[in-house]
Structure formats: structure tokens, C-alpha cells
Amino acid sequence: MTVSEFLITIESDQSYVNHSLYLKSSDNYGCVYKWLIKSNDIAIRKEIFVELNPQESELNLEDKTVVSYIEVYPAQ
């Protein structure tokens, strides 16, 4: 799966707050995204680290392959 496909998965979640997804940091080894989800009448911050294939350094971030990912808890 590419980073672009992964982001579509996040944005398609019913609890996702529209336009809240943004890139916090990135390099050739990984990236961190943050976004909000709705829970009743409040928003909860989510953050995830995505491991990338460093051999794809010539590609745009959204075209790189997701090797693995893990949620950062608690998101700050």
C-alpha cells in the first residue's frame, strides 16, 4: 500500500473530522501524520508513525510504500 492509499483509508473513517489530517514530520525512513476523530461532541487527536522504504527516496512522499505503521499514544 502506498502512503496515498493509507491516507485515503484514514479519511474514509466515519469518525474522521474533515480537513484535519496533516503531515507533522517526514524523512526517507518514515513520517508522522496527525488528525482528529469525532467522539460524541468532542474531537480526539490521533497520531501515527508510518515506516517507509528508504530505497524509495527518489519518489514523492505519497507514492512511497508503507512498510508498517503504529499509532502514537497519547497524541500530543
31 - beta bridge partners? Answer: 26, 50
Which positions ≥6 away from 64 have C-beta within 8 Å? 2, 3, 52, 53, 56
With CA atoms as reference, report the closest residue to 37 among 55, 60, 56, 20. Answer: 20
Q: How far is CA 39 from CA 15, 22, 27, 36, 50, in A?
A: 7, 19, 32, 10, 24
- Tell me the residue ranges of DSSP E strands in 1-76: 22-26, 30-39, 42-52, 66-71
pLDDT digits (tens, 9 = 90+) for 16-67: 999 999 999 999 999 999 999 999 999 999 999 999 999 999 999 999 999 9
Q: So what's the pLDDT on residue 76?
A: 66
